[in-house]
Amino acid sequence: MKYTVDSGLFDHNWFVLSEDIIIACVQLVLYGVYIVLFILAVYTLARRKSAGKKLLLGYTWAMAVFETVQLVLGLVALWICARFVEGLVKQDVTGDFTSQPELVFLSRWLNTAQTIIFAGNNLVTDSLLLYRCFVIWGSNWRPVVFPGVLIACTFIIGCIASVDSSGVIVVPTTLFRLPYVFAALTNLVLVVLIGGRVWYTRQDARVVAGNELRKRYDTVIVMVLESGAMYFVVVVLLAIFASDPSGVTFDILESIAMHIVNNAPTLIIVRVGLEQNIQDTSKISPTNEARNTNPQPRADFSADQPRSPCA
């Protein structure tokens, strides 16, 4: 049997389907990377006996849930688009997208769910970074007030902007861009506060404890900057391309951001855990055992040493 469809509509939706396939492939690759990081993070946290272990495990599992839900929603979006293209062929549809209202309804609310979950995921990862900032600043609440307000604003504006996806109201492009602007600003402020505090403490530790401790501080600073830059660059690009939220570039960037927001903090947890395991191994090496036979007294600088952002 020969089916006839409007060629322009058919070509357009094949293009949309191809776009969703690319996005799904990107999400699957990033999810695969995350699963490896998640397993390593849980493994390293399970071996630790330091304070805050349960809290970090809770954050890690929460990010895993968000990551998995976002992947499932992305695959459902691909299925919806494939069903619509199939409907064009089998039903000889020559009208517009509203010719399949049940798919339109599901697609709109799926977009809303994806946006809200992304906002919630961002809230969880930013609150983790805020907590580490609070700890590094000696449990002082004053430095975290401003980034805390930014985190709340990012979540609230993100939820408001998500209403546009359901078709209930039409959100101005400026408001649609604001969540990404606030997310980038929040990320920048927290990275500066954490990295600046570690660098400041590093200056004092270098004078008292020497180069070995200074290198540990340098490692922490590099990890903070790298993880912050990963997410910051993607979010800034999202804010730039938010003027065309239905464009291919924006959709791909958003799918990347939905996974980078979890990959970056989980990578820090893994690197900190692996570094601590290496240090623990070096402490029990034969060379160190010989050196520690007659240990020399040294000052205790633990109170001055900020822990890693995800330690």
Distances (CA, A) of 102 to 99, 108, 122, 169: 9, 10, 30, 19
Topology (CATH) of 7-283: Rhopdopsin 7-helix transmembrane proteins (1.20.1070)
Measured distance CA(181)–CA(239) in Å, rounded: 6
Measured distance CA(280)–CA(271) in Å, rounded: 14
Which segment, 83-87, 196-200, 242-246, is predicted with the most confidence on average?
A: 196-200
Query: Nearest-CA neighbor of 279 among 233, 224, 203, 219?
Result: 219
Q: CA angle 79-118-14, nearest 5°?
A: 30
Tell whether the model's pLDDT for residue 7 goes beyond 60.
no
281 with 273: CB under 8 angstroms? no
Average pLDDT of the chain to the nearest whole number: 75
* Cα-Cα end-to-end distance for the chain: 64
Tell whether the model's pLDDT for residue 91 goes beyond 80.
no
Q: CA angle 235-118-127, nearest 5°?
A: 80
Residue extents of the structural domains in the chain: 7-283
Query: Nearest-CA neighbor of 255 among 17, 12, 30, 16?
Result: 30
Kindly report the pTM of this predicted structure. Answer: 0.75
Measured distance CA(113)–CA(108) in Å, rounded: 9
pLDDT tens per residue, range 53-73:
888 899 999 999 999 999 998
pLDDT tens per residue, range 178-237:
889 999 999 999 999 988 888 888 776 655 555 667 777 777 888 888 888 888 999 999
What integer pLDDT is reported at residue 99 of this predicted model?
52
